[in-house]
Amino acid sequence: MDKIRYQEFQDEVVNLRRQLHSQPESSLQETETSRFVEEYLNDLGLETKRIGENGIVAMIWSNNPNAKTIGLRAEMDAIPVQEENDFAWKSKNDGLMHACGHDAIMASVLVTTKVCVQNRKLLNNNVKVFFQPAEENGKGTDIMIDGGVMSDPKVDYFTMLHFANDAPLGVELNKGASSAAIGSIKINISGVASHWALPDNGVDTIDISRKVLDLIYSLNDQYKSESPFVIGIGRINGGRASNVIADETLLEGTLRAIKVSDYNELRELLLSGIDKIQKNTKAKIEIEITDPPILPIISDSNLVDIGLLAGDEVFGNESRLVDSEYLSGDSAADYFNFARGIFFVFTAEKPNEHNYPLHNGNFDIDENILWKSVAVLHKYILKL
């Protein structure tokens, strides 16, 4: 195991990341990305299978007759963000960018696959690598699971990874919730249009939306929990003209909570509060809140211990067990219903620079993390 010179793969994983970064594609449109991935895997001598139009799966078989199967997932889609970086490998597709690190994830998984193939004799278990479309819009997990990715052979250990730039080079693992229970909120308020010269003839949905927002803000301020939660409205659309009372207003947002019990209770409080507002006005209010929510990701405690051992061999004391609770969401939680799972977060803050957050047009990572992510993933696979 110690004879593998992981650092020698740095140039390759960086070049892959940059090629993928320059050609981002949106959810369910990952045609060229999937072709790129498939060709790389085929060049390694692996047979690939398509799931849906763009999902890709490949198997690396161990010689161990008692082998279990490790699933290693990468996401392929980009997000609708205009890139503001000015390096040579910046996005060539206007309005699209790998601002969530999926380029680095794909590159790391591809090169980890290569290391596994080249050192197949060391594998105690089979490795199933799969590349998922449509992570950002939440549809890709169902595509892959419905397409049988967790079976034939059955995946016993599920592995996912993420890149962030909020800490120096290292790896973080969490035995608690790594994401939140999340759902969408859609509130449509219907009133009566009237000229503002005759305000008593109308039912003002913009005024009623103010009452709805007051309710939401009060829940955020007054609800008590030991874990983070939030109700947020990100989009409001109402009205037809400046001199006409708005007869329709639409509010769209999100409900997020680390604890599913908090999510469910906040959902009921919001529904009952909206019902009271409707009864006290002349408006009709229709509200949709996701039920059940996308569930939190919770890594298997024993797998985390193994992951920390792998991280220690690469990063030393920069391999961290954290208890941070983030209100991010990921439908990958559904994979954890089929197998014991682990979520690696590789931190890659660029030193002596301003680091822009995820989903920002200037998002970037310190690429020195890339060979180290391959080393951690491969060491973890060998330790299982």
| Per-residue pLDDT tens digits for 235-263 | 999 999 999 999 999 999 999 999 999 99
Is residue 210 assigned to a domain? yes
pLDDT of residue 338: 97
Pair (48, 121) in one structural domain: yes
Pair (339, 259) in one structural domain: no
Question: What does pTM read for this prediction?
Answer: 0.89
Q: How many domains, the chain?
A: 2
Distance of CA 194 to the CA centre of its chain: 44
Region 163-176: what's the mean pLDDT? 94
Tell me the per-residue pLDDT of 349-381, one tens digit each, with 9 for 90 and over. 999 999 999 999 999 999 999 999 999 999 999
Are the C-beta atoms of residues 282 and 191 closer than 8 Å to each other? yes
Q: Which of 382, 374, 380, 384 is nearest to 122 (CA)?
A: 382
Pair (18, 123) in one structural domain: yes
Are the C-beta atoms of residues 163 and 101 closer than 8 Å to each other? yes
Is residue 39 assigned to a domain? yes
Query: Which of 289, 312, 338 represents a domain boundary (last residue)?
Result: 289
Is residue 109 assigned to a domain? yes
pLDDT of residue 319: 66
What is the C-alpha to C-alpha distance for residues 236 and 254, in angstroms, rounded to an integer? 13
pLDDT of residue 133: 98
Pair (224, 361) in one structural domain: no
* 231-250 residues labelled b (16+ CB within 10 A) or e (exposed): bebeebebbeeeeebbbbbb
User: CATH number of the domain that 236 lies in?
Assistant: 3.30.70.360
Tell me 148's DSSP state: T
Is residue 370 assigned to a domain? yes
For residue 92, is pLDDT > 80? yes
Pair (206, 168) in one structural domain: no
User: CATH number of the domain that 157 lies in?
Assistant: 3.40.630.10
Banded pLDDT at 320 (limits 50, 70, 90): confident
Q: How many angstroms separate the Cα of 19 from the Cα of each of 15, 23, 82, 90?
A: 6, 7, 17, 9
Distance of CA 95 to the CA centre of its chain: 20
Q: How many angstroms separate the Cα of 240 from the Cα of each of 91, 135, 165?
A: 37, 35, 43
Considering all CA atoms of the chain, what is the largest pairwise distance in Å, rounded to the nearest integer? Answer: 83
pLDDT of residue 321: 81
For residue 286, is pLDDT > 90? yes
What is the C-alpha to C-alpha distance for residues 370 and 17, in angstroms, rounded to an integer? 9
pLDDT of residue 12: 98
Pair (343, 208) in one structural domain: no
Domain range for 194 is 181-289
For residue 1, is pLDDT > 50? no
Mean pLDDT computed over every residue of the chain: 96
Pair (107, 157) in one structural domain: yes
pLDDT of residue 240: 93
Tell me the per-residue pLDDT of 112-142, one tens digit each, with 9 for 90 and over. 999 999 999 999 999 999 999 999 998 999 9
Tell me the per-residue pLDDT of 206-226, one tens digit each, with 9 for 90 and over. 999 999 999 999 999 999 999
Token pair for 199 = 């305000």
Is residue 84 assigned to a domain? yes
Pair (171, 58) in one structural domain: yes
Is residue 128 assigned to a domain? yes
Banded pLDDT at 3 (limits 50, 70, 90): confident
DSSP per-residue letters across 81-114: ------STT--SSTT-B-TTSHHHHHHHHHHHHH
Q: What SS3 class is residue 71? A: strand
Query: Which of 263, 289, 315 represents a domain boundary (last residue)?
Result: 289
Are the C-beta atoms of residues 123 and 65 closer than 8 Å to each other? no
Tell me the per-residue pLDDT of 321-333, one tens digit each, with 9 for 90 and over. 887 777 887 889 9
Pair (238, 379) in one structural domain: no
Point out which residues pair with 126 in neighbouring strands.
69
What is the C-alpha to C-alpha distance for residues 274 and 115, in angstroms, rounded to an integer? 55
Pair (175, 185) in one structural domain: no
Is residue 1 assigned to a domain? no
Tell me 203's DSSP state: B
Query: Which of 248, 267, 289 represents a domain boundary (last residue)?
Result: 289
Pair (205, 344) in one structural domain: no
Return the percentage of the chain with pLDDT > 90, whole number: 94
For residue 317, is pLDDT > 80? no
Q: Which of 373, 369, 380 is nearest to 169 (CA)?
A: 369
CB atoms within 10 A of CB 293: 21
Pair (242, 342) in one structural domain: no
Token pair for 47 = 């047979």
Return the percentage of the chain with pLDDT > 70, whole number: 99
pLDDT of residue 2: 53
